Every structure is written in C-alpha cells, then in structure tokens.
C-alpha cells in the first residue's frame, strides 16, 4: 500500500511492527475514551470555506522561542522510538531538520541526547528540544539538564502530567507489561520471529536497545524494560509548581510545560515563569475520561496566550487539523503518533513524506479558507453555525 494519509502510515506500521510495539504506540489508558475524543472532537470542527480570493502566496512559517519553523508543526516526544526503526530518534530528527520543524526528544528515547543532537548537527540542523520528567533522583536529573545544555538543546519541555504511569490495558493484553519475565521473553521472541524485516533492521543495525539518555542510571540494565522500570520508580508524585524554581537553577533556557488542560494550571505555569505550554492530555495515555486537547485549547489560549506560547498536541491527524488548532489559539501543533507510525512504516523517508503530506494538507486548508498567513489564523476560519 502506498501511503497517502496519516491513517495509511498507521496501517503500514501495524503490518510491519511486532504487535507489542504497535499497541504501545497506538493505545491509550483504560477504555481509551480520551484517545477517541482527541480525534473525534477535531473531526467535528468545521472549517469555513471561502472563495474568490487571491491566494497566490501563502506563508506557513512561524517564529517561536527563538526559532523559525517552516510550518507550525513539531514532532512531539515519543518513548522508545528506536524500537520502531533502527536508531529511530536519530532518523526522526533528520526528517524534522529536512522539513524545517523542531523535534522533541523523549527522556525514554532509545538514542541518547548526544546521538540525536549529533545527527541534527551533521546536516546543519538544530539540536532537539529535550523532554524531561521530574524525577525523585534530583542529582541525576541535574546531570540530564547539564547534558541537554552541553549539546545545545534550545528548549526544555517539562512534562507535568505523569506523576505515575497511566494504566494501559493494551500493553497488558499484548504482553508488553504485566507478565512474568519468562512470558515477556517468549512473547518478544515470537514477535521477532514473525516480523523478520523489523528484526533484521533492529538487531542488525539498531543496537543497543537501551534508553540511551538514562543508560548510566541503571546498572546492569540490558533491555528497554529494565530502564522503563527505573523511570517508573522515579516518577515524583510530590512535584509542585515551586519545583520549576529548582529546574531554573540548572537550566537558563526556555521552559515549556507540557500536559496542561485546565485554565488555572495554565495561569500557574505563567506565574512559575514558563515560556510556553502544551495543551495536552498525553495523547489519551494518562487520565482517561478527561476532555480532549482541542476542546481545552480555546479557554487556555484566551487566558494566557498573551503571556506565553501556547501549543497543542493530541488527535492531530492532518494539516486540516493543524489549521483548526491554530484558529483556536495554538501557535503550533506537535504530533506524536503520526511520526511514530511513519517511522515504524518506513523510517526517515516515511517521516519526511508524512510531514510533506501535512504541509500539503495545510496549504489546501489555508487556500480554501482564505488564510494567507498562519500567524493571522483566527476563529473566523471556523464555521460556527
């Protein structure tokens, strides 16, 4: 199948990847109500078609936190991307660099922050934005911040909606979590045998299979699951807004708070000195039953959009969705599953093509709504009747 849309990359990834990794990318928490809302609520928003306007020139570029983006899209942090394709995070940042958009590296990426930064710099790109959780081990967290600063990461993305991992039933059903070590080993062995193309790619070219940035924290760790267990034990439920001050002691660059749905939390982020926030419910992977990101966005943007940069993630599946989010107050959208699906389907080239698809779809949406500049996108682009 030749991919024409984001949903096509999802199907191609489903065919190529072992089930345990596809379900990890694809699934949400509990009954996945929020996961479905993220997509459905975006689909329910109608764009306002306008005609007979001179749309010879359109401008998709935006400036944010000292960077110029060729389009208002970024690659959101996705854990374990190096298990979807060999050295997956490095492939993804090369695709992002080619497209002129930012890539945000997850703390739990297979490739280390140094490897990903080097991959970007090799082709004249910008090092990744770095996503970090508040960890109980503050000493090691300070080391991570120093490493991010040393390689030139321009932005710290501080994820605040994960004081503990959400319960993801799909991971239990697939055998990724919840089984005995023997059951897990047998499941992974069978998945490898039954997906030879993926196995060759990952085991011939993709080693080591650790979480590179936190590798030194887990003595004797050999498998991805060893490092995920360490991260899970180190999530800190005691974190408050005052901890942003502690982060500031080691980080003097922009801080973006990721995982905000509530207006009061958005105002707290402003008071804490954040330069940006991501309206996000963690892709429906944490607290199920909450509102979708797109329905939370307008109130947050109205409340704090003049004080910091407001981004959004969750449910974005097309360039049309990007324009809808911009119209409701986002400066840019971050996509997670779309680039992970594309990476799993075909590596860097597929991620590049997926981003080209988003760009082409955004162009069509702009032209047929009469929007010549994404920076001026507003609610007049939406059909509210």
Q: Any idea which residues carry the catalytic annotation?
A: 282
Tokens 């075909």 -> residue: 346
Helical ranges in 28-103 per DSSP H: 33-43, 88-99
Query: Residue 55 has what DSSP assignment?
Result: -
Query: What SS3 class is residue 14?
Result: helix
Q: Where does residue 355 rank: exposed (0-12), middle (13-18), buried (19+ CB within 10 A)?
A: buried
DSSP 102-149: -BEE-TT-SS-HHHHHHHHHHTT-PPPEEEEE-BS-HHHHHHHHHHHH
- The arrangement of strands across the sheet holding 73-75 comes to 73-75, 332-335, 309-313, 276-279, 255-260, 156-159, 129-133, 104-105
Alpha-carbon distances of 208 from 198, 204, 212, rounded to whole Å: 15, 10, 8
Q: Which helix H or strand E contains 310, and what residues bound it?
A: strand 309-313
Query: In angstroms, rounded to a whole number, what is the distance separating the alpha carbons of residues 73 and 333?
Result: 5
List the beta bridge partners of residue 156. Answer: 130, 255
């Amino acid at each position: 199948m030749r991919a024409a849309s984001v949903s096509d990359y999802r199907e191609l990834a489903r065919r190529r990847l072992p089930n345990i990794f596809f379900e990890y990318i694809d699934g949400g928490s509990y009954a996945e109500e929020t996961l479905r809302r993220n997509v459905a609520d975006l689909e329910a928003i109608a764009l306002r078609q306008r005609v007979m306007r001179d749309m010879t020139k359109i401008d998709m570029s935006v400036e944010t936190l000292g960077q110029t983006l060729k389009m208002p899209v970024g690659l959101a942090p996705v854990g374990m991307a190096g298990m979807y394709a060999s050295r997956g995070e490095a492939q993804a940042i090369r695709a992002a660099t080619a497209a002129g958009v930012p890539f945000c590296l997850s703390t739990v990426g297979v490739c280390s922050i140094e490897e990903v930064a080097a991959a970007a710099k090799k082709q004249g790109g910008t090092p990744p934005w770095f996503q970090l959780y508040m960890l109980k081990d503050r000493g090691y967290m300070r080391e991570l911040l120093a490493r991010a600063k040393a390689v030139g990461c321009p932005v710290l993305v501080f994820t605040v909606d994960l004081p503990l991992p959400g319960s993801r039933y799909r991971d239990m059903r697939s055998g990724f979590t919840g089984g005995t070590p023997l059951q897990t080993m047998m499941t992974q062995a069978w998945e490898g045998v039954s997906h030879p193309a993926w196995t060759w790619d990952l085991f011939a070219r993709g080693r080591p299979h650790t979480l590179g940035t936190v590798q030194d924290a887990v003595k004797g760790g050999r498998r991805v699951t060893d490092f995920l267990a360490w991260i899970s034990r180190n999530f800190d439920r005691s974190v408050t807004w005052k901890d942003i001050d502690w982060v500031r002691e080691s980080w003097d660059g922009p801080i973006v708070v990721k995982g905000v749905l509530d207006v009061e939390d958005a105002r707290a982020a402003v008071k804490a000195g954040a330069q940006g926030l991501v309206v996000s419910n963690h892709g429906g992977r944490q607290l199920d039953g909450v509102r979708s990101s797109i329905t939370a966005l307008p109130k947050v943007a109205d409340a704090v959009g003049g004080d910091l940069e407001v981004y959004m993630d969750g449910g974005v599946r097309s360039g049309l969705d990007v324009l809808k989010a911009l119209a409701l107050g986002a400066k840019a959208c971050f996509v997670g599953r779309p680039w992970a699906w594309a990476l799993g389907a075909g590596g860097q080239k597929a991620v590049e093509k997926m981003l080209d698809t988003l760009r082409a779809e955004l162009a069509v949406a702009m032209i047929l709504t009469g929007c010549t500049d994404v920076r001026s996108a507003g609610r007049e682009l939406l059909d509210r009747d």
